[in-house]
Every structure is written in structure tokens, then in C-alpha cells.
Amino acid sequence: MLDLRKSVQTDLHFIPHSLHIHMDKRRTLIHKIAPEKGYHERENSIFKPRKYFIKTHDLCRMTQKISAAITAVSGYVPEDILSNGDLEKMVDTNDEWIRTRTGISERRILKGLNKATSDLCVPAVLSLCEKRGILPSEIDCIIVGTVTPDMLFPSTANLVCEKTGAANAWGFDLLAACSGFLYSLTTGASLIESGRYKKVVVVGADKMSSIVDYSDRSTCIIFGDGAGAVLLEPNFDGLGVLDSILRSDGSGKAHLHMKSGGSLSPATIESVARKEHFIYQEGQPVFKFAVTRMADVSEELLKRNNLTGDDIAFLVPHQANKRIIDATANRIGLSDEKVMVNIQRYGNTTAGTIPLCLSDWEDQLKNGDLLVLAAFGGGFTWGATLVKWGC
Ligand code: COA
């Protein structure tokens, strides 16, 4: 029986001469990709010169390859708003500077004692289950992309399983800063594609207000708190996560990091006094790197799937800075109405931005829409994922 799962990396595939294809499938496959020719002629031309290509979704249909469809999406932001006007009272900044340099007007802040990232995840996960009509106990695995876990251990995913009643699930946190959701989505999709899991929840969530220095005007204007979640389930029609390119470069540590609190520099009275448990960011190098890398990887993803901007319904970019979003959209030839932007309302919620966009735009998405999800973050980490919407 044909099993192409291991060879399926991109949207277009050679049909190699050496494939051992079950006879029925082989006939359908040959007919599908070269209907104009007679059977033997088609067989010779396809399997000998390795000339023909086939799209992933056709391949999935014919080979019963499992793909990970996004079958529900939800978002959660806390009620409290921190506006540019509020920030004007805290640091030397102004609304006009923030809006023109970043595109942000306000962001949400999770307030209250004993409130943490898991408290952003829980409403998102519960609403996801409600929308799909499933019980949390049916979830197999929860992955939480976050850079602000409730604690270093246990993992936030572990706490979310307990708080939502996902009693049969295992889970883990994945730390890739602003690329956390894409890294987690790709990982979650692999669990579904393996055939071992039927319901995987991927959450991107951050309580950035817990690591922002509200006396540093260059960082406090950017970040906000929020969470978004998607449910992944097996699909045999080639819907869902089709392809991902993920990258990392540890040399980026110099420009964006949190200096203390890890094993390199555990917390001390001195490290707290030196404000080393807050985000350290050199805005300009991060900006330059983000503009190039997010655009490069999105373009590469389209090219290797033989797509252009015209084939894409929406770009779903990480919401770091409106100027970075615009540069990525321009590079892959997408006009403004095809780009999801909600940075003005939430700021940069780190791992939360992409699923929050999907949740905000859900009503406009149609079955079969192709989406490019693109992110860039601390590490450096970056990547792009191609999704075919629908379930
Ligand atoms: N309000 C007013 N002025 C500010 C300011 C603020 N909040 N923050 C910085 N400035 C000042 C600077 O001090 C500087 O003044 P100077 O010219 O007198 O020295 C001037 O504005 C320009 O600063 P600069 O850092 O060059 O601004 P910028 O255009 O690069 O914008 C960022 C700063 C942080 C908004 C921008 O660099 C950025 O978005 N970087 C990427 C951040 C990011 O995406 N991080 C998350 C990773 S996913």
C-alpha cells in the first residue's frame, strides 16, 4: 500500500519511478495527473521521465495521508485596557509616536493577584471545546507556546489540563518567543499526522505585562497580554497545515532576551535590582532582522509550494510592528485587505498574536482558503506556515 507520508514535504511532488503504488491508486493517480493520455502512455511518461507533479491535497485524497485540519479557533484577551494615553502618564512618550512607529493604540493587561498565563489559556481552551461541541476530556494533548509560563515547572500546559478538566490529555510548553505559536502548530500537526492523536489543542499565550519594565519606554509601548487557541484534528482531504518552514539563530540572543531567572543567572536580590527579569530589547537590530527574515521565509514558502500572492486569501502575520507586517505583505504581493492586522487593539501578545488574528477573522474565512502564517521572535526564531482553511 502506498505510504507517501514521509516524502510529503512540499505542496508539489515528483511521482518517482520507484514508487510502489497499489494498482488501483496508481491508476487513479495517473489518470488524475495526465488525463489526456492513454493508460500505458501515461504510465510511461509519468513513471519514467519523472516529469509530472501533483498537488499535496490531491496526493492526500488519493493516498489517505492524514493532515492536521484546524477544526476550531478561539481567542481570549483580558478586560483591562492600557491605552497610549495611559502610557503617556507613565513614561516620556506620546500617542502619535507610538501609533506611527508601531501601529499600536492600546493593549490588554491581565490584572489581579494570582493571575497568570494559564488564566489566559483556560477561557480560550474552554471556548474552543464549546465551539466544536466536545468535552475537554476528549482532548489528547495540549501544547502551550509561551515565554511567560506560570512557573518554570510544572508546565503551563500541565496546569491548563488540570484547570480545564482535560483529564485524559498530556501536554507541554514550547518556548520560541513570538514564533511560539508557529513552532507549536507545526509540532501539534506532526502529532496528528503521525496517526496517534485525534485531538490536539495548540495555544499561543503570553502575559507579557509580567516581564515588561513599565519605566522603559522603548519596550512598554509594544507588548500586551492575550491568548489564542486552535483545535487540530485528522483530515483526509488535504485541509489544514500543509507546509512549514521554521528557522532559528541563537546569535540573536544579544539583541532580545531576559537576562536573569534561568540557570545561567538565577534570581538574586542584585539581579532584581538591576532589572534583569524584564525584557531587554535593542529595537533597531530586531526590527531589521524581523523585516528581512519574515518576508524571506514567507516568500520561500510560497515558492516551494508553487504559489503566488494571488493564490493566498490572507497573510496572518505576527503582530510585532505594523511596519514589519507591511514589509512582509509587500514582498509576497498582498494588498492591505488580504492582511490580518489587529495590532492597534492588542499590541504584541507574543505567542498569542497569530491565533488571536485567526479568531478575529474567523467569520471571513472560507473553506479552501489558503493562509500564510508568518512570525519572527526572540532567539532569533522565525518561520512561515501554509494552511488550507476548513474541516
Ligand atoms: N516614545 C517616544 N520616543 C521614543 C520611544 C517612545 N516610546 N521609544 C524610543 N523613542 C525615541 C528614541 O529614544 C529615539 O530618540 P533619539 O532619536 O532622540 O535617540 C527615537 O525615538 C528613535 O528610536 P528608535 O529606537 O530608532 O525607534 P524605532 O523607529 O526603531 O522604533 C521600536 C522603536 C522599538 C518601535 C522598533 O525598533 C521596533 O518595533 N523594533 C522591533 C521590535 C519587535 O518587533 N520586537 C518584538 C520581537 S517579535
Candidates 254, 333, 246, 257; CA nearest to 293 is 246
Residue 75 sits at φ, ψ, to 5 deg, of -140, 155
**Cell numbers for 188:** 501539534
Concatenating the DSSP letter of every residue in 81-93 gives: EEEHHHHHTTSS-
Q: pLDDT tens digits, residue range 277-307?
A: 999 999 999 999 999 999 999 999 999 999 9
Using most ligand atoms within 8 A of CB, pick from 91, 181, 218 the residue to mutate for ligand 1. 218
Backbone region of residue 2 per phi and psi (left: phi > 0; alpha: psi in -120 to 50; beta: other values): beta
- The ligand 1 atom at the shortest distance from the C-alpha of residue 375 is 48
**Rounded to an integer, what distance in angstroms lies between the CA atom of residue 75 and that of residue 245?**
25
Candidates 10, 88, 95, 90; CA nearest to 55 is 10
- Ligand 1 geometric centre to CA of 219 (Å): 8
Residues with CB under 6 A from ligand 1: 93, 97, 101-102, 178, 217-218, 221, 281, 283-284, 286-287, 290, 320-321, 348, 376-377
What is the pLDDT tens value at each position of the chain, 391 positions in all? Answer: 344 444 444 444 444 433 434 445 555 665 666 666 555 555 555 544 444 455 555 565 556 689 999 999 999 999 999 999 999 999 999 999 999 999 999 999 999 999 999 999 999 999 999 999 999 999 999 999 999 999 999 999 999 999 999 999 999 999 999 999 999 999 999 999 999 999 999 999 999 999 999 999 999 999 999 999 999 999 999 999 999 999 999 999 999 999 999 999 999 999 999 999 999 999 999 999 999 999 999 999 999 999 999 999 999 999 999 999 999 999 999 999 999 999 999 999 999 999 999 999 999 999 999 999 999 999 999 999 999 999 9
Using most ligand atoms within 8 A of CB, pick from 97, 101, 212 the residue to mutate for ligand 1. 101
- Ligand 1 geometric centre to CA of 97 (Å): 9
The pTM for the full model equals 0.86
- Ligand 1 geometric centre to CA of 221 (Å): 10
Question: What one-character DSSP code corresponds to residue 151?
Answer: S
Distances, alpha carbon 218 to alpha carbons 93, 102, 243, 345, in Å: 9, 11, 35, 18
Q: How many CB atoms lie within 10 A of CB 217?
A: 15
Please give the sequence-ordered ranges of beta strands (E in DSSP) within the chain, or none if there are none.
12-14, 53-55, 67-76, 80-83, 106-109, 141-145, 170-174, 200-207, 225-235, 240-248, 256-257, 280-281, 314-317, 370-377, 381-388
In order of their start, the domains of the chain are 5-65 (no CATH), 68-238 (3.40.47.10), 241-388 (3.40.47.10)
* pLDDT number for residue 50: 43
* pLDDT number for residue 53: 53
Protein residue closest via CA to atom 10 of ligand 1: 218
- Ligand 1 geometric centre to CA of 217 (Å): 8
- Ligand 1 geometric centre to CA of 198 (Å): 44
Indicate the Cα dihedral angle 219, 220, 221, 227, nearest 10°.
100
- The ligand 1 atom at the shortest distance from the C-alpha of residue 93 is 1
List, by residue number, the catalytic residues: 178, 318, 348
Q: H helices within 133-197, ranges in order? A: 156-164, 180-193
Mean pLDDT over all residues of the chain? 90
* pLDDT number for residue 57: 55
Q: pLDDT tens digits, residue range 308-327?
A: 999 999 999 999 999 999 99
- The ligand 1 atom at the shortest distance from the C-alpha of residue 318 is 48
CA atoms within 13 A on the CB side of 308: 3
Indicate the Cα dihedral angle 146, 147, 148, 152, nearest 10°.
100
Protein residue closest via CA to atom 1 of ligand 1: 93
- The ligand 1 atom at the shortest distance from the C-alpha of residue 348 is 46
* pLDDT number for residue 29: 62
- Ligand 1 geometric centre to CA of 283 (Å): 6
Q: pLDDT tens digits, residue range 120-165?
A: 999 999 999 999 999 999 999 999 999 999 999 999 999 999 999 9
* pLDDT number for residue 26: 54
Strand 200-207 to strand 80-83: parallel, antiparallel, or no bridges (unpaired)?
Answer: unpaired
**Rounded to an integer, what distance in angstroms lies between the CA atom of residue 175 and that of residue 351?**
9
* pLDDT number for residue 44: 52
* pLDDT number for residue 156: 98
* pLDDT number for residue 12: 47
